[in-house]
Amino acid sequence: MPIVKNDKLLLIKRSKNLKFHAGEIAFPGGIIKNNENPIEAAIRETEEELSIKRDFINVIGILEGVYISRTNFHIIPVISTIEENALKSIRINKDEVEDVILYSFDELVKYRRVIVIGYWYIFASSEGVIWGATARIINSLLKLYGII
Residue 141 lies in a domain: no
Residue 98 lies in a domain: yes
pLDDT at 119 over 80: no
- Place 129 in a pLDDT band, splitting at 50, 70 and 90: very high
Domain that holds residue 28: 2-103
Residue 91 lies in a domain: yes
Residue 135 lies in a domain: no
Tell me the C-alpha distance between 119 and 1, whole Å.
Answer: 22
Residue 38 lies in a domain: yes
Per-residue pLDDT, 120: 84
Taking all residues of the chain, what is their mean pLDDT, rounded to a whole number? 93
Domains of the chain: total = 1
Please report which helix (H) or strand (E) contains residue 13, including its range.
Answer: strand 8-14
Please enumerate in sequence order all residues whose Cβ is within 8 A of that of 40, keeping only pairs 6 or more positions apart, or say none: none
* pLDDT one-digit tens code per residue, 85-112: 999 999 999 999 999 999 999 999 999 9
* pLDDT one-digit tens code per residue, 24-51: 999 999 999 999 999 999 999 999 999 9
Measured from the Cβ of residue 117, the count of other Cβ atoms closer than 10 Å reads 5
Per-residue pLDDT, 70: 81
pTM for the predicted model, two decimal places: 0.91
Assign residue 23 the CATH number of its domain.
3.90.79.10
